A and B are shown apart, each in its own frame.
Chain A
Amino acid sequence: MTSTWLTWPRPPLGATPREPVVAKAAAQRISFSGPQARALWQPRLDRLRDVAIAIELEMVRREHIPATVLWTGYDGIEALTERARAIGLEAKPVKASLGYAADWTQEAWIDEPKRLLDYAFLIGAAALDVAMADPAAEDVVKTAIRFGYPACCAESWANHLRRGGSDSLASLLAREDNAAMPAHTALGVLGLGPVRHAPCSAGCVATRDRSRAFLDLGRQLGFIEEMSWLEEIACWTVNASLVNGIAEITTAAFRCTWLSDEGPSQPRPAAPAPRPEKRKAAAITAAGSADILAELGIGFESAGFASPFAMRSRFSAVVWEQTAALRRATTAVHVGCGDGLLLQLLAQTKPKLKLYGTEEDTALAEAARQRLGASSPVLAGASIEALAALSRLVPGGIDIAFVDPERLGDRDALVAISAIARSIIVIGTDRSLHRFRDMDNLAATMGLALLPGRAARVSATLSPAMDRLH
């Protein structure tokens, strides 16, 4: 990256710019829109900054302008003065400004504070009068014209400086001017050229002529490719805005920002930002808390849970644990299905699963029917009768039965289930897991044999060895 920077804009400059080296600040604050954009444009921008310095110095050498101002760090001073001398120009220091802490080395911080500064040099023909870039108030317009400003821009820039401004883009953005901001004008802040003065308006014809002269001189000096990049940039759509004293420019390749003049806050509407089309989504419907609680699950206490959240969470975990078993199944029953929550979760996981429920509590059985709809029969009555009805309803049997063995009451119910279900999955409720600690203890206590699995599981398949239940 270049270590020498053109002042933006050309002198005369504001007394107290918010960023001492605006061009450097803006360039360091470029954020590319992607790796391809960065790979293409970062080296080009670096090169264009170097080329702009060369063109600017040539303009001084040819006396198109009397001088220019370049910034450099302490270590760049010698090279800069030597470069000026080599083309017959003189470099004189005009000011210094504290750089950025992130650039400071530990050694400079302790021993060499001069390395913490950036230095501005006026470069022109000898004998150079350093006051020329910093004129008395009444000479500002004249000075601006000497530094290459068209008369219209000199007048406008002088007015902006008198109002205490320092950033030419701010002076443009602060006006009620809805014309699209030309890319060269907006990006002049980066010190790339071809616009080197503060334009009076976005559409200033004289500014366009000066830009053309810059490009022509660049080509004369052999910078053919670089000038073609500038021509390409001229076609870019840019979005420029100034909000609360912060300027921001956005292009398709990058965005950059810097502290600008304080001024009226008005995002410039000239070029619409490329915002993506908003995604449509289904309308949001929100039920009240009573409906929500019913939806979360009722009858949790009789089902053996501490709260509706615990019941929902546990049943969700059961479904999650039994993903593989469900993949193979086409039918399932929840014996003692309560309000049908587990069956609903099963239906959401595998919509093609044919589901059945049995429930002794008529209110809960009705709630389950409401939750599940007519396609999933819920059989009321005591377990044995309901299971008998189920075996008549599904003579071919059921693939999976989910059961809480504690709720079954006696072993006959388990025998009845094993008569119609090809696989039985035992569920651990809060009540049973609190009492028995884990599934293996639960099974052992109840005389059941489970297939092996994680110790912390909350459901388990009854071992086929339990065939003796028949």
Chain B
Amino acid sequence: MTVEVRPLGDKCNIKCRYCYQEGIRTAGNVPTRYDLDAIMATLDRLAEPFSLFGGEIMMTRRPDLERLMQLGFDRHGGVGMQTNGTLIEERDIELFRKYRVRIGISIDGPGPLNDARWAGSLPATRRATARIEAAIETLCREGMPPNVIVTLNRINASPDRLAVLCDWIGFLGSLGVRKLRLHLLEQDETEGGEGLALTAQENLVALRRLRQLEQELSSVEFDIFAEMAAMLRGDDARTSCVFHACDPYATRAVVGVESDGRLGNCGRTNKDGVTHLRASREAFERQLSLYRTPQSDDGCQDCRFFLACKGNCPGTAIGGDWRKRSIDCPVWFGLFEDIETELQANGETVISRSERRADLEAKMIAAWSIGDNPTLHSLLQPAEAT
């Protein structure tokens, strides 16, 4: 479970054209104040490592931010932080070091390649991008290389720009960045995002090229490809939320601690401008439905990658309706096929081609039917070991 602390909810200092939180901001559902004691009490109760998140977490008052960092350091030896990097200042570097803050920075590319992460005007956008680039280089030079999150879109990964993006990633590797997370653009919230999405084919081309790049750059790792391979091996212990049968009513993988200390859901599933609270019970209607719904009706019936993919993130569902499979299905399917082929060529067993697939699916369906969500890893263990 990832616990995301969001003192200011979705409040942000920039307005990325494709941001999945824009609906919430447009609806005015952004807190103007927060109760730090309530937030810290909830974190005490959860007793889980947490990440500082937003909106933009660096808009939080520094003394309060430091208290949260200190709590994470004291209880868990450190704290994660996801930021757009534009508000990082020189004085923050020592805070990051002191409290062992693991920083993730979102940026789609250098200079003009980051223009989708809009800051109100082109000069302001470029200024913000320059600050992010500066923060990445500084953190690397200070021995705290951040993880970098890149959202693929038409401005940074269209066929005529992909090579530039790849070269830049190579540069990040030379700076010291080791991990990159790739996101496909979520296509449902803002009109500003219209025209930014790549086609499924373009996304697939981009991801295939980036996967190739990962093999060329020994120092840089893209989380997503390793996770997909792990899922195909049935090793889902450390893979990220999109592969874990997410319930949009009670997201298990991501739990938000909101401004008043209450628990919230992952914001990717909020499609109507409302930050819904968590339901009291987690359930798996989505996966149960997708499993038996024909692909022509936006389900996943008979897909051999279902156990690995599970319809992917409900926040990316077709038409914004969490009951349907991910709109990015063709992209994930193509990549799963690539990885499946390679694993098999290396003599590895993959669950998508395993004789046990039907049995595993039946066990998973049975578990979901009673509200349980076992790991694939546990289902694959020999009976005597379980």
- A residues near B (Cβ < 8 Å) are 1, 25, 28-35, 38, 98-102, 243-246, 248, 250, 254-259, 262, 265, 267, 273-282, 284, 286-289, 292-293, 295-296, 306-307, 309-310, 312-317, 319-321, 323, 345, 347-349, 351, 454, 456, 458
Q: B293: CB under 8 A from chain A?
A: yes
Q: How far is the CB of A157 from chain B (nearest CB, A)?
A: 24
| Listed stretches B71-79, B111-119, B238-246, B378-386; interface member | B111-119
Verify B155–A286 contact, CB threshold 8 A: yes
Listed by A's residue number, 18 A-B pairs whose Cβ atoms lie within 8 Å are A28-B280, A29-B283, A31-B265, A99-B370, A101-B371, A101-B372, A243-B324, A259-B285, A280-B192, A281-B118, A282-B192, A287-B112, A289-B161, A292-B113, A312-B111, A313-B175, A320-B131, A348-B124
Chain B hits for A255, CB < 8 A: 249, 276
Question: How distant is the Cα of A272 from the Cα of B167 in the complex, in angstroms?
Answer: 46
Q: How far is the CB of B259 from chain A (nearest CB, A)?
A: 10
Chain B hits for A32, CB < 8 A: 276-277
Verify B323–A248 contact, CB threshold 8 A: yes
A-B pairs, top 4 by smallest CB distance, nearest first, are A281-B192, A320-B134, A309-B171, A278-B191
Question: How distant is the Cα of A30 from the Cα of B3 in the complex, in angstroms?
Answer: 21
Given A31-B278, A244-B293: A280 in contact with B154 (beta carbons within 8 A): no
Q: How far is the CB of A261 from chain B (nearest CB, A)?
A: 12
Verify A33–B23 contact, CB threshold 8 A: no
Verify B283–A25 contact, CB threshold 8 A: yes
Which of the residues A245, A256, A276, A320 comes within 8 Å of B27, measured between beta carbons?
A: A276
Question: How distant is the Cα of A245 from the Cα of B289 in the complex, in angstroms?
Answer: 7
Q: How far is the CB of A87 from chain B (nearest CB, A)?
A: 30
In the complex, chain B residues 282-303 whose Cβ is within 8 Å of any chain A Cβ: 282-283, 285-286, 288-290, 292-293, 297-299
Chain A hits for B158, CB < 8 A: 286
Verify B249–A280 contact, CB threshold 8 A: no
Question: How distant is the Cα of A347 from the Cα of B26 in the complex, in angstroms?
Answer: 31
Question: How distant is the Cα of A282 from the Cα of B370 in the complex, in angstroms?
Answer: 48
Question: Can you name 14 extra interface pairs (CB under 8 A) apart from A38-B277, A456-B141?
Answer: A29-B280, A244-B323, A246-B289, A275-B271, A276-B26, A278-B26, A289-B163, A307-B171, A312-B110, A313-B134, A313-B136, A321-B90, A454-B90, A454-B142
Chain B hits for A25, CB < 8 A: 283
Q: Mark B237-260, 1 if CB is under 8 A from A, else 0.
A: 000000000000110000000001
Given A243-B324, A258-B285: A30 in contact with B131 (beta carbons within 8 A): no
In the complex, chain B residues 138-176 whose Cβ is within 8 Å of any chain A Cβ: 138, 141-143, 154-155, 158, 160-161, 163-164, 167-168, 171, 174-175
* CB nearest to A259 among chain B residues: B285
Chain B hits for A454, CB < 8 A: 90, 93, 142
* CB nearest to A438 among chain B residues: B141
Verify A31–B276 contact, CB threshold 8 A: yes
Q: Which of A31, A255, A258, A296 has the most CB of B within 10 A?
A: A31
Chain A hits for B183, CB < 8 A: none
Chain B hits for A246, CB < 8 A: 285-286, 289, 323
Chain B hits for A243, CB < 8 A: 321, 323-324
* CB nearest to B121 among chain A residues: A282
Q: B137: CB under 8 A from chain A?
A: yes
Q: How far is the CB of B161 from chain A (nearest CB, A)?
A: 6
Q: B262: CB under 8 A from chain A?
A: yes
Chain B hits for A284, CB < 8 A: 17, 115-116, 154-155, 195-196
Q: Mark B188-199, 1 if CB is under 8 A from A, else 0.
A: 011111011000
Verify A295–B112 contact, CB threshold 8 A: yes
Verify B123–A267 contact, CB threshold 8 A: no
Chain B hits for A274, CB < 8 A: 272-274
Q: Which of A38, A259, A288, A314 has the most CB of B within 10 A?
A: A259
Question: How distant is the Cα of A198 from the Cα of B137 in the complex, in angstroms?
Answer: 64
Q: B310: CB under 8 A from chain A?
A: no
Which of the residues B190, B274, B299 comes within 8 Å of A33, measured between beta carbons?
A: B274
Which of the residues A29, A281, A309, A456 comes within 8 Å of B110, measured between beta carbons?
A: A309
Verify B297–A288 contact, CB threshold 8 A: no
Q: B221: CB under 8 A from chain A?
A: no
Q: B279: CB under 8 A from chain A?
A: yes
